[in-house]
Amino acid sequence: MPKVNVTIDGKQIQAEAGSSVLEAAQAAGVAIPTLCHHPALKPEGNCRMCLVEVERQRNLQASCVFPVSEGMVVHTHSPKVMEARKFVLELLLSDHPTDCMTCEATGDCVLQDLAYQYDAKVGKYYGGAKHDYAIDDTNPFFVRDYNKCILCRRCVRACDQINGVEALGVAERGFSSQIIAGLGGTMEESRCEFCGMCVEVCPTGALMPVGTMKQGRYWEFKHTTTVCPYCGVGCNLDVLSKGDKIIRTRSAWDKAPNYGWTCVKGRFGLDFVNNPNRFTTPLIKRDGQFVEASWDEALDLVADKLSAIALEHGPDAVGFLASAKCTNEENYLMMKLARGVVGTNNVDHCARL
Ligand code: FES
């Protein structure tokens, strides 16, 4: 890839031709604040938080969509830039609920962090019209509170560019602009698959998973990168927990094979771990009733029954069905048990059926 020489905040760097000023700055270790930008999505340049001063350009430029060019000189934190970013934030805050004390996104809200960083005043532009959207909590997975939406369109782009579903869009124009699902109804009425990518990329509290409500503050959660226990794809997840309870699934963006994408089960289905109805000990049927047993008792019973069937009717009277939820090693051991111990080739896998 050809390079161009660029100066960012006095630092001379070589940036890839065609890359944006934001990408070049990040590669050089210069932080530029963003709101609508997300590394997994195509940049749109609609929030103007990433404004920078580019010499010989009349206006400030949105660095996420402005390409570098040979000899370009960029100032990312000049007084003019800082003032413009603060203005952007104060306009956003002029129509934003100020319930940070009780908002579920506190501690995980880009808008809140930037408002603090830029000392943006909440009430500076009070007096204008304010939105008063009804909160949509009609689906079991996430709550939509568009009073907290900043119209960054991350959710719309994630649904389109990551999941390929296009369930979300923007209706109306100007102050009336609003994110809608389908033709403006509930999520269930749209094409939504509830993969939760929109929730994952939302930079405010406009989209919040139901399972995290009143479960604690973001900084209280422990992050664990782990493999999803559902199908055999083996997606990596960033699981948030508090104590021994799983609270939420976030995207592990840099991990194969899913690189942040999840389906509805991985995103919202891990609450089964803490379900009180879950079996925690083997059950053996005695006199027509299931009773709790130790693992030794249960495994001995299974071994005795399988041996008896194989001895009486031959090994092929027994079959083994493995699971995509198991690891490769566990499935391999199941195959060894079938072929090496019992002596049958009747072994299969649920993902092949
Ligand atoms: Fe560049 Fe929003 S981050 S315009």
First and final CA of the chain: distance in angstroms? 46
Which residue out of 32, 38, 48 has the highest number of ligand 1 atoms within 8 Å of its CB and is therefore the one to mutate? 48
Residue 263 structure tokens: 């389906």
- Three-state DSSP state, 225: strand
Asked if residue 340 is part of any domain, the answer here is yes
Query: Rounded CA gap, 105 and 212, in Å?
Result: 10
- Domain count along the chain: 3
Query: Rounded CA gap, 222 and 238, in Å?
Result: 10
Query: Rounded CA gap, 122 and 188, in Å?
Result: 35
Residue 47 structure tokens: 């929030």
Task: Classify the phi-psi angles of 234: left when phi > 0, otherwise alpha if psi is within -120 to 50, otherwise beta.
Answer: left
Residues of the chain short of pLDDT 50, as ranges, are none
Query: Rounded CA gap, 217 and 41, in Å?
Result: 27
CB 111 within 8 A of CB 103: no
Distance 24 CA to ligand 1 centre (A): 15
Number of neighbouring beta carbons within 10 Å of residue 333: 14
Q: Residue 229: which CATH number?
A: 3.30.200.210
Query: Rounded CA gap, 60 and 48, in Å?
Result: 9
* Nearest ligand 1 atom to alpha carbon 64: 1
Which residue out of 21, 32, 50 has the highest number of ligand 1 atoms within 8 Å of its CB and is therefore the one to mutate? 50
Asked if residue 211 is part of any domain, the answer here is no
Nearest CA to ligand 1 atom 4: 45
Task: Report which of 276, 268, 199 is spatially closest to residue 228, judged by C-alpha positions.
Answer: 268
- Three-state DSSP state, 287: coil
Please state the separation of Cα 139 from the chain's center in Å: 18
Q: Is 48 in the pocket of ligand 1 (CB under 6 A)?
A: yes
Q: Which of 26, 51, 77 is the last residue of a domain?
A: 77
Q: Is 51 in the pocket of ligand 1 (CB under 6 A)?
A: no
Strand residues in the chain grouped as ranges (E): 3-8, 11-16, 51-54, 61-62, 72-75, 142-144, 168-171, 178-181, 207-209, 222-227, 236-242, 245-251, 283-286, 289-292, 320-322, 347-349
Q: What is the pLDDT of residue 353?
A: 56
Q: Is 45 in the pocket of ligand 1 (CB under 6 A)?
A: yes
**What are the helix and strand counts (H, E) for the chain?**
8, 16
Instruction: From residue 274, give the alpha-carbon distance in Å to each of 215, 250, 265, 277.
Output: 14, 18, 15, 9
Distance 64 CA to ligand 1 centre (A): 6
Question: In the chain, which ranges are continuous DSSP H helix?
Answer: 21-27, 79-93, 110-117, 154-157, 197-201, 264-268, 295-313, 328-336
Residue 49 structure tokens: 């938080």
Task: Classify the phi-psi angles of 196: left when phi > 0, otherwise alpha if psi is within -120 to 50, otherwise beta.
Answer: left
Query: Rounded CA gap, 193 and 14, in Å?
Result: 43
Distance 111 CA to ligand 1 centre (A): 13
Instruction: State yes or no: cis peptide before 257, omega within 30 of 0.
Output: yes
Instruction: From residue 254, give the alpha-carbon distance in Å to each of 41, 64, 246, 261.
Output: 14, 20, 21, 11
* Nearest ligand 1 atom to alpha carbon 48: 4
Asked if residue 147 is part of any domain, the answer here is no
Q: Which of 77, 110, 134 is the last residue of a domain?
A: 77
Distance 43 CA to ligand 1 centre (A): 7
Query: Rounded CA gap, 311 and 337, in Å?
Result: 16
- Three-state DSSP state, 5: strand
Asked if residue 234 is part of any domain, the answer here is yes
Asked if residue 247 is part of any domain, the answer here is yes
Residue 255 domain boundaries: 220-261+269-275
Asked if residue 305 is part of any domain, the answer here is no
Cβ contacts of residue 43 below 8 Å, gap of 6+?
20, 22, 36, 37, 64, 65
Which residue out of 64, 76, 89 has the highest number of ligand 1 atoms within 8 Å of its CB and is therefore the one to mutate? 64
Asked if residue 225 is part of any domain, the answer here is yes
Distance 281 CA to ligand 1 centre (A): 53
* Nearest ligand 1 atom to alpha carbon 65: 1
Q: What is the pLDDT of residue 17?
A: 95
Asked if residue 118 is part of any domain, the answer here is no
Q: Is 153 in the pocket of ligand 1 (CB under 6 A)?
A: no
Q: Which of 77, 102, 120 is the last residue of a domain?
A: 77
* Nearest ligand 1 atom to alpha carbon 34: 3
